[in-house]
């Protein structure tokens, strides 16, 4: 479905791809956290743990954005396009 020149399906797919990239980044940060924690680097581990929390928040927002794209497409924006 296209709304205002935006292919909703492709847009949702794009957001989902961003989410996958963030998920992969979170996995790497998680591994780095364990490396720092195992090495006794408490401050580094704490910062990495906070980074994981923030990445979790990003993923939640991306999930919300994915849901919202569809809702907004269904609602429309009141813009009409006329063939001339």
Tens of pLDDT, residue by residue over 13-69, are 999 999 999 999 999 999 999 999 999 999 999 999 999 999 999 999 999 999 999
- 54 within a domain of the structure (yes/no): no
Q: Would 83 be classed as within a structural domain?
A: no
pLDDT given at position 80: 57
Residue-wise burial string across 21-32, b where 16 or more C-beta atoms lie within 10 A, e elsewhere: ebeeebeebeeb
Are 11 and 66 in contact by the 8 Å Cβ rule? The answer is no
Q: What is the CA radius of gyration of the chain?
A: 19
Residue 14, domain member (yes or no) = yes
**Is residue 57 a part of any domain in this protein?**
no
Total number of domains in the chain: 1
């Amino acid at each position: 479905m296209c709304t205002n020149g935006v292919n909703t399906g492709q847009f949702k797919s794009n957001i989902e791809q961003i989410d996958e990239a963030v998920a992969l980044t979170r996995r790497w940060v998680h591994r780095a956290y364990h490396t720092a924690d195992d090495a006794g680097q408490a401050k580094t581990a704490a910062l990495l743990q906070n980074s994981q929390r923030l990445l979790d928040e990003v993923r939640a927002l991306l999930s919300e954005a994915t849901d919202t794209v569809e809702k907004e497409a269904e609602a429309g924006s009141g813009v009409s396009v006329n063939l001339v």
